[in-house]
Homo-oligomer: A and B are copies of this chain.
């Protein structure tokens, strides 16, 4: 017999239209947030063991039901909205800078990219991936940007801590060597 709290969590998550935070679930179920995470993890494991066509996932700070990625070919045909258009390489690079350096101003992004970043930043905020998160306290009070909740949802991540460490992308010795050769460093 499933526990009342687990069943209540299933019922609430079924009518929620966005991820539900463990704190809220805890308050509604009268258990601790840690217990909520435990319950939801048990449920998620059960669905997986039963080979269900859906999952319970922790996304953007909360729990939500979603379709199993295996079944994308079927769901695709059902969902009328097309997938959002892909981002250009320049936009992706800029998004990565915002994701890892946030909060960050447009000027700071421009310094790293070596080019004006206004157009790309506008695209990213129009698509809902980045948003204003504050103002630089220094002179000029530049607008500071960070990634949005939608960014986490689109990436299926619970929090920014789920981003792979930036160090993973620092080029390896072979690439650095090639770059150095390009700069003529092997003369000496």
Q: Is A15 an interface residue (CB 8 A)?
A: yes
Q: Is A162 an interface residue (CB 8 A)?
A: no
How far is it, in angstroms, between the C-alpha of A18 and the C-alpha of B122 when the chains are bound? 11
A111 to chain B minimum Cβ distance, whole angstroms, is: 8
Q: Is A78 an interface residue (CB 8 A)?
A: yes
Residue among A66, A114, A115 with most chain B CB within 10 A? A115
Is there an interface contact between B127 and A116, defined as CB atoms closer than 8 Å? yes
Q: How large is the interface on A (under 10, 10 to 19, 20 to 34, 35 or more residues)?
A: 35 or more
How far is it, in angstroms, between the C-alpha of A67 and the C-alpha of B74 when the chains are bound? 24
Is there an interface contact between A116 and B150, defined as CB atoms closer than 8 Å? yes
Is there an interface contact between B65 and A14, defined as CB atoms closer than 8 Å? yes
Q: Is A34 an interface residue (CB 8 A)?
A: no
Is there an interface contact between A54 and B17, defined as CB atoms closer than 8 Å? no
Q: Which residues of B contact A79 (CB under 8 A)?
A: 15
Q: Which residues of B contact A119 (CB under 8 A)?
A: 18, 150
23 contacts between A and B (CB under 8 A): A2-B50, A2-B51, A2-B52, A7-B53, A7-B71, A8-B74, A8-B75, A9-B53, A10-B54, A10-B68, A12-B75, A14-B67, A16-B78, A17-B126, A20-B82, A28-B81, A28-B82, A29-B74, A50-B50, A80-B143, A110-B126, A115-B128, A116-B128
